[in-house]
């Protein structure tokens, strides 16, 4: 059967070659003009693409910027971009005596797309440095490429712990935070100040959720508290009813981690189920972050969350930032906006320190690592030896002030490191917080 | 089955694609070489779907499954077990093919919209698995750190252009095999099943077996593309298995021209190009892309490749 089939195939082939040659003579010859014009067109396209190869010179400083501007995270991506543009507007798009040119690319929140766009920025646009990215998955996917190209990259938002812990990348500067960082402080706060002893957690089922809940659980249980129930919901969750029915009513508090639409939905349903009156709600900062807070109602009142920023932070630097941002974009700045405003100031400070000589990549990296921008909205920030910020962590409670919901800062943990109070070397021997994390006893 | 005339339109397409794929990388910048590599890999994948969708008439909305699973296999073998090149390369293809063989048993007895639904469901199951089977797949974060294909395979060459030509070679090999396949009696039987399965049955053909084999073979070629894709990107993530990946693939085939093999190549190249070029110039690129799709489907319902011909494929 097989051989027979093969023979037929060969027969087909022979016949086809003959037919092709006939077809070729009959059809191609008369239409050669069109063919030639097509060929010329193709050559023109190719040579045009060759010309696109940029020339690095003494022109503007080019910064490649990657954020999701389409898809479910488009709004958060827009906030990040706005923060960045605002920081550049304040210096009239100039630093170190050179003009700054930003090339924005949409990574759609898909790691492979992010990588393709990063390649475009580096290899085609010849940017001097990159900034941006939102999702941890994109952050991890870009890291090997960034290292291989030796291109400095600023991550303002990506909070995956291991990027500055067990899988450090020398060319990545994180000006944001790690997911567990504020939650370490919050675990202690929940036990000592809020006097909670048992907590149930409900969080989005992905790395950001695991790392935040893990950090909280570790310090909360180290104090003597107990996380009695841990629930994980799919990132695409639409209805919390099945989860809310299961939540223990006998705990001192429920810890929730959501963002965007899920945060809105969760808080609304938490109240509808009568849980809000029975069990206090606490959580990660994104649950009541300003990217969703303005569209929430009274169901958010009284929720206590933790983050390294609040738009209601009462410092001169933040008041100025928040009012300028509001005037410019008609929105309250979210932590996403602040993240890249600070990231932008970081980059500007580094460029100033180099007096605009960004062509030397090693010097640029060193300048970024040693940059000390001042008057940051979130308070003082410095990088630790692992490339992660040491910064204040704020405990915030949602209150209504002048008719608007805001995250009023009720307590501050100054200069919190990603390792909390632990020894970094010891800390790094522990596995990364995962879905099944159990604190070492 | 007289060979369709190679009119000017088609000659133009062949010349442009041939020039771009053949000599483009020698003169283009590395970024464009990267895009061409993507085009070639996705073209391979789209051709494999064409075997199923175009030639057998089975609309699969879960074809990214084989692509993604073989990519994951390479990632797990290379980073978790430190496996060598051939173990990764063949392992990826074998695992993808075995998966197709298993799924084929479930899907081969249904047709049309039922086929669509079941393949969609199976694809979603795998996507969920990649997302939740964290110890193996790394969950949402995926797996990064897959070695470079050339160093892994021990080829004494480096750089994007060398990788591109290796990919092109694999693409050409797979393309050739698929072309042989669709011109063979087996391929003709598949077309017969597409046109009228009842008649083929009454002629004594085991149509179930033909559909099953077509599914497995197409899965095998998709696995080859997945292996190369894993090496190209250096990481894997659940987005490879998402429904959007499968539906975009579907679009490549229908846009280019189903049951032509070269149509899907055209579709893949056009979509990669449009997505990347458009988004560089306008923030409303999704809008533009949507219009292009609609115009293409209305203006060339048989696919762009068949635009110059009247006859029905």
pLDDT digits (tens, 9 = 90+) for A364-381: 999 999 998 989 999 999
pLDDT reported for residue A319: 94
Which of B144, B231, B266 has the most A C-beta neighbours within 10 Å, making it the best mutation to test the interface with A? B144
For residue A48, being part of any structural domain is answered with: no
Quote the pLDDT of residue A36: 47
Domain ranges, residue A123: 61-177+315-387
On chain B, the residues whose CB falls within 8 A of the CB of A124 are: 29, 31-32
pLDDT digits (tens, 9 = 90+) for A86-139: 999 999 999 988 999 999 999 888 888 999 999 999 988 999 999 998 988 898
Domain assignment of residue B250, yes or no: no
Inside any domain, residue B145 = yes
Q: What's the angle, vertex CA A305, arms to CA A302 and CA A308, rounded to 5?
A: 140
Residue A52 scores a pLDDT above 50: no
Query: Which of the residue ranges A30-34, A214-218, A261-265, B269-273 would you say has the lowest mean pLDDT?
Result: A30-34
Q: Are residues A375 and A272 in the same domain?
A: no
CA nearest to B40, candidates B170, B206, B152, B180: B170
Q: Which of the 8 DSSP states describes residue B140? A: G
| CATH code at position A398 | 3.40.50.2300
Confidence label for A5 from pLDDT (cuts 50, 70 and 90) = very low
Domain-embedded: residue A264: yes
Q: What are phi and psi of B23, to 5 degrees?
A: -110, -10
Q: How many domains are contained in chain A? A: 2
Question: For residue A376, is it within any domain?
Answer: yes
Question: In the predicted model, is pLDDT for residue A360 greater than 70?
Answer: yes
Burial status of residue B113 (CB atoms within 10 A of its CB: 0-12, 13-18, 19 or more): exposed
Which residues in chain B touch residue A161, judged by CB atoms under 8 angstroms apart?
Answer: none
**ipTM computed for the complex:** 0.80
- Contact state of B30 with A123 under an 8 Å Cβ cutoff: yes
Label residue A50 by pLDDT band (50, 70, 90).
very low
Residues B66 and B103 sit within 8 Å (Cβ to Cβ)? no
Chain Cα centroid distance, residue B187: 18
What is the band of A11 on the pLDDT scale with cuts at 50, 70, 90? very low
Are A222 and A303 members of one domain?
yes
CA dist A8 and A10 (Å) reads: 5
Higher pLDDT, A359 or A20: A359
Whether A104 and A84 have beta carbons less than 8 Å apart is answered as no
Beta strand spans in chain B (E): 143-144, 235-236
**Which mean pLDDT values do the consecutive 10-residue runs of chain B (313 residues) have?**
64 89 88 92 95 92 93 93 91 96 92 92 92 84 86 83 93 95 94 92 92 95 95 91 90 91 93 86 82 87 80 49
A50 dihedral zone (left: phi>0; alpha: psi -120 to 50; beta): alpha
Is A156 in the same domain as A205? no
Q: How far apart (Å, rounded) are the C-alpha atoms in residues A68 and A81?
A: 10
pLDDT of residue A51: 44
Same domain, yes or no, for A259 and A286? yes
CA B212 vs CA B46, B53, B141, B177, B209: distances in Å: 19, 13, 34, 18, 5
Cα B126 to the chain's mean position, in Å? Answer: 17
Closest in B7, B15, B38 to A27, CB measured: B7
Q: Same domain, yes or no, for A340 and A258? A: no
Smallest CA–CA distance from B21 into chain A, residue: A46
- Give the confidence band of A2 by pLDDT, cuts at 50, 70, 90: very low
Answer yes or no: do A102 and A150 share one domain: yes
> B140 to chain A: which residues are within 8 Å by CB?
136-137, 206-207, 235
User: Could you give the angle at the alpha carbon of B9 between the alpha carbons of B7 and B13, nearest 5°?
Assistant: 115
Taking the CA of residue B24 and the nearest CA in chain A, the distance in Å comes to 7
| Parent domain of B35 | 31-242
Q: Would residue A4 count as lying in a domain? A: no
Higher-scoring residue by pLDDT: A182, A38: A182
Whether the pLDDT of residue A44 is over 70: the answer is no
Cβ of A38 and B11 within 8 Å?
A: yes
- Mean pLDDT across the stretch A35-55? 48
- A57 pLDDT band, cuts 50/70/90, is very low
Cβ(B234)–Cβ(B15) below 8 Å: no
The CA distance from A299 to the nearest CA of chain B, in Å, is: 30
pLDDT of residue A18: 52
Question: Which chain A residues contact residue B28 at CB under 8 A?
Answer: 46, 49-50
> What is the per-residue pLDDT for B283?
75
Check whether residue A75 and residue A97 sit in a common domain. Answer: yes
Interface test mutation site (partner A, options B2, B4, B5, B8, max chain A beta carbons within 10 A): B8
- Taking only the tens place, the pLDDT of each residue in A205-254 is 888 999 999 999 999 999 999 999 999 998 888 899 999 999 999 999 99
pLDDT of residue B169: 95
pLDDT the model gives residue B173: 96
Number of domains observed in the structure of chain B: 1
At residue A37, the pLDDT reads: 52
CB contact under 8 A, B185 and A8: yes
Helix B207-233 × helix B160-183 angle, to 10°: 170
* Same-domain pairing of A303 and A330: no
By C-alpha distance, which of A135, A285, A258 is closest to A203? A258
With an 8 Å Cβ cutoff, are B6 and A24 in contact?
A: yes
Nearest to A409 by CA among A298, A293, A312: A312
**Averaged pLDDT for residues A318-335:** 94
Find out whether A175 and A377 touch, Cβ atoms under 8 Å.
no
Residue A307: enclosing H or E segment and its boundaries? strand A304-307
State the pLDDT at residue A368. Answer: 92
Specify the pLDDT at position A8.
Answer: 42
Identify the pLDDT of residue A24: 43
Q: With respect to residue A232, please indicate whether it lies within any of the assigned structural domains.
A: yes
Mean pLDDT of chain A: 86
Same domain, yes or no, for A172 and A192? no
Say if A438 falls within a structural domain: no
Mean pLDDT of A189-212: 93
**Domain end call among A387, A402, A420:** A387
Regarding predicted confidence, which is higher, A111 or A13?
A111
Same domain? A71 vs A129: yes
Rounded Cα–Cα distance for residues B235 and A359 (Å): 29
Residue A18 is assigned to a structural domain of this protein: no
Residue A291 belongs to a domain: yes
Nearest chain B alpha carbon to A78: B283
A27–B140 C-beta distance less than 8 A: no
Inter-residue long-range contacts of A349-354, CB under 8 Å, 24+ positions, other chains counted: A349/A373, A351/A61, A351/A95, A351/A96, A351/A98, A351/A100, A352/A95, A352/A96, A354/A96
């Amino acid at each position: 059967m097989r051989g027979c089939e093969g023979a037929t195939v060969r027969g087909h082939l022979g016949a086809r070659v003959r037919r092709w040659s006939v077809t070729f003579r009959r059809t191609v010859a008369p239409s050669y003009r069109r063919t030639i014009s097509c060929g010329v067109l193709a050559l023109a396209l190719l040579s045009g693409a060759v010309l696109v190869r940029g020339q690095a010179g003494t022109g503007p400083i080019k910064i490649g910027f990657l954020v999701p501007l389409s898809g479910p995270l488009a709004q958060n991506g827009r906030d990040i971009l706005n923060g960045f543009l605002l920081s550049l507007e304040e210096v009239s798009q100039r630093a170190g005596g050179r003009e700054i040119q930003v090339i924005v690319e949409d990574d759609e929140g898909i790691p492979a797309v992010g990588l393709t766009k990063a390649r475009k920025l580096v290899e085609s646009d010849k940017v001097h440095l990159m900034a941006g990215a939102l999702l941890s998955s994109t952050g991890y996917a870009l890291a090997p490429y960034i290292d291989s190209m030796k291109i400095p990259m600023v991550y303002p938002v990506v909070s995956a712990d291991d990027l500055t812990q067990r899988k450090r990348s020398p060319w990545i500067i994180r000006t944001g935070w790690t997911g567990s960082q504020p939650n370490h402080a919050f675990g202690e706060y929940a036990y000592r100040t809020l006097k909670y002893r048992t907590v149930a957690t409900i969080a989005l089922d992905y790395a950001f959720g695991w790392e935040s809940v893990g950090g909280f659980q570790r310090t909360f249980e180290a104090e003597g508290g107990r996380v009695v129930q841990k629930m994980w919901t799919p990132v695409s969750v639409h209805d919390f009813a099945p989860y809310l029915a299961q939540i223990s009513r006998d705990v001192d508090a429920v810890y929730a981690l959501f963002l965007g639409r899920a945060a809105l939905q969760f808080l609304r349903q938490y109240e509808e189920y009568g849980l809000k009156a029975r069990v206090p709600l606490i959580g990660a900062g994104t649950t009541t972050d300003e990217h969703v807070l303005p569209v929430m109602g009274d169901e958010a009142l009284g929720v206590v969350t933790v983050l390294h920023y609040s738009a209601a932070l009462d410092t001169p630097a933040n008041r100025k930032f928040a009012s300028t941002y509001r005037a410019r974009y008609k929105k309250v700045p979210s932590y996403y906006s602040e993240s890249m405003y600070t990231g932008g100031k970081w980059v500007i400070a580094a460029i100033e320190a180099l007096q605009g000589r960004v062509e030397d990549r090693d010097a640029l990296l060193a300048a970024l690592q040693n940059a000390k921008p001042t008057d940051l909205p979130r308070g003082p920030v410095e990088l630790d030896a692992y490339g992660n910020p040491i910064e204040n962590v704020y405990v915030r409670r949602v209150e209504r002030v002048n008719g608007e919901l805001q995250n009023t800062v009720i307590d501050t943990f100054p200069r919190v490191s990603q390792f909390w109070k632990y020894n970094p070397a010891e800390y790094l021997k522990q596995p990364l917080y995962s879905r099944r994390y159990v604190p070492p006893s | 089955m007289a060979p369709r005339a190679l009119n000017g339109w088609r000659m133009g397409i062949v010349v442009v694609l041939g020039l771009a794929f053949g000599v483009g990388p020698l003169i283009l910048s590395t970024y464009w070489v990267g895009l061409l590599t993507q085009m070639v890999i996705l073209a391979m994948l789209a051709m494999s779907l064409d075997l199923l969708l175009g030639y057998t008439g089975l609309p699969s909305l879960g074809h990214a499954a084989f692509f993604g699973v073989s990519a994951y296999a390479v990632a797990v073998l290379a980073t978790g077990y430190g496996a060598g090149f051939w173990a990764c390369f063949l392992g990826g293809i074998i695992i993808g093919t075995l998966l197709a063989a298993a799924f084929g048993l479930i899907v081969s007895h249904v047709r049309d919209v039922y086929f669509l639904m079941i393949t969609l469901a199976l694809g979603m199951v795998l996507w969920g698995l990649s997302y939740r089977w964290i110890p193996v797949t790394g969950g949402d974060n995926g797996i990064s750190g897959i070695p470079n294909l050339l160093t892994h395979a021990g080829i004494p060459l480096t750089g994007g252009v060398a990788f591109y030509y290796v990919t092109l070679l694999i693409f050409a090999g797979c393309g050739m095999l698929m072309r042989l396949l669709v011109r063979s009696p087996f391929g003709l039987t598949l077309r017969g099943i597409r046109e009228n399965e009842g008649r083929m049955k009454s002629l004594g053909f085991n149509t179930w077996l033909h559909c099953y084999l077509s599914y497995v073979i197409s899965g095998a070629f998709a696995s080859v593309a997945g292996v190369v894709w894993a090496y190209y990107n250096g990481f894997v993530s659940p987005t490879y298995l998402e429904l959007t990946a499968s539906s975009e693939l579907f679009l490549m085939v229908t846009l280019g021209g189903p049951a032509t093999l070269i149509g899907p190549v055209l579709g893949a190249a056009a979509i990669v190009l449009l997505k990347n070029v458009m988004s560089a110039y306008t923030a409303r690129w999704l809008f533009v892309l949507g219009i292009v799709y609609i115009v293409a489907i209305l203006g060339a319902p048989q696919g762009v490749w068949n635009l110059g011909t009247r006859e029905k494929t």
